[in-house]
Chains A and B, each alone.
Chain A
Amino acid sequence: QSALTQPASVSGSPGQSITISCTGTSSDVGGYNYVSWYQQHPGKAPKLMIYDVSNRPSGVSNRFSGSKSGNTASLTISGLQAEDEADYYCCSYTSSSTWVFGGGTKLTVL
């Protein structure tokens, strides 16, 4: 199984909005509403931010939102804050009953 495709890096200024894309195939992202997003700060374990495409776990800021169109899922962060600077990974269920992650996107807050 091939990793989902994410941009290597994105950046934005405080207060702005950014969107990170996650492209797969009809066998993973496009075939199921089981896309999740994780935030990882350096040296820390990943943290769940979005699950099932657009659901936010309790305790996660409503500045984080998710969506999907076709084979591409997206994570949007609005009102960018310094603490949002981290690596972000998408993850999808696949038709083989397995899970595949994206390559990761480094978010820089300028």
Chain B
Amino acid sequence: QLQLQESGPGLVKPSETLSLTCTVSGGSISSSSYYWGWIRQPPGKGLEWIGSIYYSGSTYYNPSLKSRVTISADTSKNQFSLKLSSVTAADTAVYYCARRGWRAGRWFDPWGQGTLVTVSS
């Protein structure tokens, strides 16, 4: 059964870079059938797609975050990562990683349990 687990600091200072890693178990991120993505949810608010990466390295980002976001993958560790630079309090959110279907439907499933990142000095 495929599982995803987010990890990284729970507290980041304003203007610094938020860095998270998603470790995938029970499946390979090198599969050509899927993309891998990041989605976030500010406390009490809705979901926001951040970006996705394909095993080949192709990336797609939310235009509103594109200038600050980098998503990369390490196939040897079966992990993919998120870096968000110049963070502010508005970036405080629960960050989720998820697999994104491609060949057999377009969906996000499963999701990691999520990790809360607070931006504060």
Contact = CB atoms under 8 A, between A and B. Distances in A.
B47 A52 contact: no
Contacts of A36: 106-108
B63 A1 contact: yes
A45 B107 contact: no
Given A46-B111, A52-B107, A96-B63, A101 B96 contact: no
B14 interface: no
Contacts of B39: 101
Contacts of A97: 60
Residue from B39, B107, B108, B111 having most chain A Cβ neighbours under 10 A: B107
Interface in A72-105: 89, 91, 93, 96-104
A64 interface: no
Interface in B91-116: 96, 101, 105-114
A109 interface: no
A48 B46 contact: no
Interface residues of B, number: 24
Contacts of A98: 49, 60-63
Nearest to A91: B108
A45 B112 contact: yes
A70 interface: no
A22 to B, nearest CB: 12
A55 B109 CA distance: 14
Contacts of B106: 34, 36, 51-52, 93
A57 B109 CA distance: 10
Given A46-B96, A51-B106, A101 B111 contact: no
Given A36-B107, A38-B108, A101 B60 contact: no
Contacts of A18: none
B29 to A, nearest CB: 18
A102 B48 CA distance: 9
Interface string B10-52: 0000000000000000000000000001010000001111001
B121 interface: no
Interface of A: 1, 3, 34, 36, 38, 45-48, 51-52, 55, 57, 89, 91, 93, 96-104
